[in-house]
Structures are given as structure tokens and as C-alpha cells.
A and B are shown apart, each in its own frame.
Chain A
Amino acid sequence: MLNCKQASQLASRAMDEKLSFRESAALKVHLFLCRNCTNFTQQLNFLREASRRSRFNRNFKLTEKAKLRIASTLC
């Protein structure tokens, strides 16, 4: 049986790559039995969604004014 620490590592890795059949099965069993780790996978999904959208959030972008200013110094 996986403990939560191991399950969390698999859950995180599963965001980026395909787990082996054994890993994937072990994770599924653990998630079926563990509310905490199920919540953690929801948090992972939320974090991914937030990260994807952050790129388009104005806090994460140069302002148009700054772009113009930079562009003008480059020509």
C-alpha cells in the first residue's frame, strides 16, 4: 500500500507523464480510499488551471505602455 507521501508524488507526476500500469493502479486504489489525497489531486488541477490562466493575467504581463517604451528604445 502507498502512503500519502508516495501517493502525492505519483499524483504530481501523473500531471506530466503517463504512469506505469502498476503505479497508476496503486494510485487509483489509494485515491479510492483516501479523502485527503483525493483533495490533493483537486488542488493540483486547480493549480494547473490557475497557472495556465495566469499567463494572460495582467499582473503577469508587460503593460502596453511598457511595451511601447521598450520598443521605442530598440529601434
Chain B
Amino acid sequence: MTPKNNDLNTQTWLEEYGDYLFCYAMLKVKDNHLSEDLVQETFLAAIMAANSFSSQSSIRTWLTGILKHKISDHFRRQKREVMIDDLVDQTEKDGLDIFFKANGGWINKPDAFPNPEAALQQHEFWKIFQQCLARLKPKQAEVFLAKEIYGMSNADICKDFTLSSTNVWVLMHRARLSLINCLKINWKD
């Protein structure tokens, strides 16, 4: 099934999904210009392939799928390991061992961020935030981006990423611990 005509309006796509796709690409390739190019290629490919769109998925999911291919192509061209879609994080058990002792106590005791509001005003903070995001395991970063930054609902995330709601909160918890840890280490007020 093809999208309705108004869904095919590429201007709307760019406005609605451009930033999300750009962010997603940045997580993987960590380069502004390259990310912009990948987003552009994605939209071009999407227009060419509009009839492959299945109304089963959201346009965002469909576009993200195309972008993933573009990113894989890029890494293949670079002859690097392709690790776009490691399904579940390799480090099993619960993956929390780096944060907690065997008795369940904190290894590094959390302390409050000294001046949170001031941090959010600073350019440097956002650069670090983005770098920390890019350092997460791929699946964690994708889910975190969709959920916490783009406000996707739990139900949509379960559907789009084919995860159970337990998977989602486990991923989110690890992502949050890792991000907080990374920010604490790298952000000095």
C-alpha cells in the first residue's frame, strides 16, 4: 500500500523527520556533514521507493530503515565493521555490574549535579551530551533518542523496535545509568 498523497509531501517529511534522522545519523557516524548527506540520500531514496512503503509501519520507522541502509553502505564503503543493528546488547546478565557491587550497593555513589540549570545553558554541555549519547550501545541510543528526545510512546517503541515493555525499561535503565555516568565524568561546571 502506498502512503496517501499528503504523506508523500517531501517538504513535510523534511520538516517532520529531518532533525530526527539527522540526530540518528550523528549517533552512528559522528560527523555533521556526512550526517546531512545521509539524510539527503535517505529522502531521495524514499521518494524513489515510495511505493515500497507499507502502512504497517510509521513513516518515521520506514525512513529510519532507509537511513540505516545508507549508514551501512557508508561503513561498507569504508570497509569497517558494520554494527548498526546488533539486536540485543552483548553484555548480558543484567549489564548493571559496572554500576553496582554484588550486594546491590552503588560502586560510584551518585551525587546531585551541582548546577543543572546553568549546564543546560552552555554550548559545551550539549556537545558532551551528544557525545555521551553516541557512546551508548546502538540499541540503547536508538531507543533513548526515540523515547526521551522525540517523545515516542512506549507502545510505539515496542512496536517499531519489536521489543517487549520489559526490554524497553531494561534498555532505558542502562542507557540512563550510562548517560549520567558519562555526563558526570565529562561535564565539569
Using a CB–CB distance below 8 Å, which chain A residues touch chain B? 3-6, 8-9, 12-13, 15-17, 36-37, 39-40, 42-44, 46-55, 57, 59-63, 66-67, 69-71, 73-75
The answer to whether B19 touches A61, judged by C-beta atoms less than 8 angstroms apart, is yes
B residues in contact with A49, CB < 8 Å: 116, 120
Count of CB-CB pairs between chains A and B under 8 Å: 126
The answer to whether A8 touches B173, judged by C-beta atoms less than 8 angstroms apart, is yes
**A54, B36: Cα distance in complex, Å:** 18
Using a CB–CB distance below 8 Å, which chain B residues touch chain A? 10-11, 14, 18-19, 22-23, 26, 36, 39-40, 43-44, 47, 96, 99-100, 103-106, 109-113, 116, 119-120, 125-127, 129-130, 144, 147-151, 154, 165, 168-169, 172-173, 176-177, 179-180, 183
The chain B residue with its CB closest to the CB of A56 is B19
| A53-B120 contact in complex given A36-B106, A40-B110, A66-B36, C-beta closer than 8 Å | yes
**A75, B43: Cα distance in complex, Å:** 11
The chain A residue with its CB closest to the CB of B173 is A12
| A39-B129 contact in complex given A51-B148, A62-B22, C-beta closer than 8 Å | no
